[in-house]
Amino acid sequence: MATAGNGSEDPSADVLDQAAAAFGMLASPARLHIVWALAQGESDVTGLADRVGGALPAVSQHLTKLKLAGLVRARREGRRQVYFVDDPDIVDVVRLMVGRLTDRAELPAPRVRGL
């Protein structure tokens, strides 16, 4: 197995496939917003649709895909399903990326000097 520049081994093809699949699921702005919202706290589909501004059927379809990918889970509370992210690593990745991009967006634009 090849080693990276820092001396650690490259991940296996299986690990890279799993990571690519997870990133693929998060590549949709709607699904990323849903995971972001669930990282802040659990919710049912109606609450998520209100929060992310999506139509209920569309949010439900995204949740189904996220569940099948293993990125979110659900439990039944009476007649409703409550969704949550059960993987702290996914929460960390999403919070890190969204947080860094938010910080960059809030920085003043660099001044460009004329030539």
27-83 tens-digit pLDDT: 999 999 999 999 999 999 999 999 999 999 999 999 999 999 999 999 999 999 999
Return the amino acid letter for 16. Answer: L
d(CA 28, CA 76): 26
CB atoms < 10 A from the CB of 82, how many?
16
d(CA 10, CA 99): 27
User: In percent, how much of the chain has pLDDT > 90?
Assistant: 63
pLDDT band at 107 (very low <50, low <70, confident <90, very high): confident
CB atoms < 10 A from the CB of 15, how many?
10
The predicted pLDDT at position 85 comes to: 94
Find the helix or strand (DSSP H, E) in which 77 lies. Answer: strand 73-77
Q: Please provide the average confidence, as pLDDT, over all residues in the chain.
A: 89
